[in-house]
Amino acid sequence: MERNTLFWLAVFWSLFVGIVCLIDGSAIPKTPMFVIPNKDKIAHFVFYFVFSCLWFFYLIKLNDGKGRIKKALIVFMTACFMGGLVEILQFLLTVSRSAEWTDVIANCSGSLIGLLLCLLITQIKK
Is residue 15 exposed (0-12), middle (13-18) or buried (19+ Cβ within 10 Å)? exposed
H helices of the chain, in order, are: 3-22, 39-61, 68-93, 101-125
Average pLDDT over residues 60-88: 93
Distance CA 96, CA 71 (A): 36
Instruction: Please tell me whether the overall predicted TM-score, pTM, comes out greater than 0.85 for this model.
Output: yes
- Is 27:95 a contact under the CB 8 Å cutoff? no
| pLDDT tens track for 8-17 | 999 999 999 9
| pLDDT tens track for 91-122 | 898 887 788 899 999 999 999 999 999 999 99
